[in-house]
Amino acid sequence: MRLFITGGAGFIGSNLIRYLLEKTNDKVLNLDKLCYPGSRHTIEGFNDQPNYQFIQQDLCDSEQLVDVVNDFQPDAIIHLAAESHVDRSIDSPQAFIDSNIVGTFNLLEAFRKYFTDSDNSLQRQLRFLHVSTDEVFGSLSDGDEPTKEQDSYKPNSPYSASKAASDHLVRAWGQTYKLPILITNCSNNYGPYQFPEKLIPLVISKALADKALPVYGDGSNIRDWLFVDDHVHALYCVLNKGKLGDTYNIGGNCQLTNLELVGKICDILDVLKPKETSYKEQIEFVSDRPGHDYRYDIDISKIQTELEWSPYESFDSGLMKTISWYIENQEWCDNVCFDIYDGQRLGLGS
End-to-end CA distance of the chain: 42
Kindly give, in sequence order, each residue whose CB lies less than 8 Å from that of residue 182, ignoring residues fewer than 6 positions away.
127, 128, 129, 130, 238, 239, 242, 244, 245, 246, 247, 248
| Catalytic annotation, pick one of 19, 114, 159, 236 | 159
Rounded Cα distance, 208 and 191, in Å: 17
Rounded Cα distance, 294 and 257, in Å: 9
What's the Cα-to-Cα distance from 154 to each of 134, 239, 268, rounded to whole Å?
A: 10, 26, 36
Query: Could you tell me if 259 and 220 are in contact, meaning their C-beta atoms sit under 8 angstroms apart?
Result: yes
Kindly give, in sequence order, each residue whose CB lies less than 8 Å from that of residue 274, ignoring residues fewer than 6 positions away.
none
Q: Kindly report the CA angle at 170 between 223 and 12, in degrees rounded to 5?
A: 45
Between β-strands 76-79 and 2-6, what pairing exists: parallel, antiparallel or unpaired?
Answer: parallel
Kindly give, in sequence order, each residue whose CB lies less than 8 Å from that of residue 85, ignoring residues fewer than 6 positions away.
36, 37, 159, 195, 197, 198
| Catalytic annotation, pick one of 32, 58, 135, 334 | 135
Task: Indicate the residue type of 274.
Answer: P
| Catalytic annotation, pick one of 58, 134, 224, 293 | 134
267 is catalytic: no
135 is catalytic: yes
Instruction: Tell me which residues are annotated as active site.
Output: 134-135, 159
